[in-house]
Structure 1
């Protein structure tokens, strides 16, 4: 019978220690949660590309069709889009971009940049865009993406003829419809 009391005391002590450790871990997790919530995260949807009213930087590039494009080659209300083949949101929003571009009525008013380190990875994305846009293929942090201040994908915007961003974001829903452009 004495052994039972000793076993009961040991089990009770272990349970109380376990309970104290659990409360300590919960307290530490709450502290870490508060610290993590104060940490800055990656770019927000509005920070992916230059904001409306900003002037795009100077650049020059050659499209996949061999056309020269530069800062001066934008008409009023030109749609720009930046996509990466390895980006799941890019794959989801690409058909919407193509439909929006088709509504604009011409490749001269649509400019797309596909960012990929290996050109073969971008083939499908480039093919989807070629019919509706002038497409530039460049590596990560290339000159065109730098001129537009691109920090993430997908990034879309409307540019005026003088190179000013009219509207921008990561979704086309934030841009005016083509009839209003």
Structure 2
């Protein structure tokens, strides 16, 4: 009986210590959740470059062998970044192709960049090349770096508001398809 009381006190003390440690862990998890959920907090990836972000210089070759530089992009050109491993990209691709096919400037009104390995991006490249200038590059390529594109799909419009190529819109909505009356 004399051993039972000290053992009971030891078990009680261990339970209180365990409760305090658990409460501390829960408090830290809440702090981390708040930090991760805060805009611009650690772990957040910008969806698209900010409006006004200058575009770096680049010189790339399109899938048709045409040389393309930052000087070749016209005011208001639509630039899109796709990845064949991205589910939303597969969903947005047909709408983008339809939208670009209807642009008044034709092939020069847009630029599509497919980021991925050649074998997995072949279908994207084929479909996009039919309507616009298309570049296929590996992850971390020249265009993704110049445009600071970190997420897919990214749709931007570009212009030269201060004489230098920059992002003029970073949340481009594709026009819904409108049936043509015959």
Residue of structure 1 in register with 2:133 after alignment:
134
Residue of structure 2 in register with 1:111 after alignment:
111
Change (3 A) 1:176 1:89: closer
Counterpart-to-counterpart distance in 2, 1:132 and 1:166: 23
Residue of structure 2 in register with 1:32 after alignment:
29
Consecutive unaligned residues of structure 2, counting only runs of 5 or more, are 1-7, 36-40, 177-182
Residue of structure 1 in register with 2:45 after alignment:
43
Q: Deviations over 1:82-117 (max 9, x none)?
A: 11111122122222222321231311111011111x
Normalised by the length of structure 2, the TM-score is 0.74
Change (3 A) 1:112 1:95: same
- Per-residue deviation at 1:23? 7.5
What SS does structure 2 have at the residue aligned with 1:124?
helix
What SS does structure 1 have at the residue aligned with 2:102?
helix
- Per-residue deviation at 1:27? 4.9
The answer on 1:85 being equivalent to 2:87 is: no
Consecutive unaligned residues of structure 1, counting only runs of 5 or more, are 1-9
Which stretches of structure 1, 4 residues or more, deviate above 4 A after TM superposition?
17-24
- Per-residue deviation at 1:25? 3.0
Residue of structure 1 in register with 2:100 after alignment:
101
What SS does structure 2 have at the residue aligned with 1:137?
strand
Alignment: residue pair count: 163
The answer on 1:68 being equivalent to 2:58 is: no
CA RMSD of aligned residues (A): 2.9
- Per-residue deviation at 1:31? 2.2
Residue of structure 2 in register with 1:157 after alignment:
156
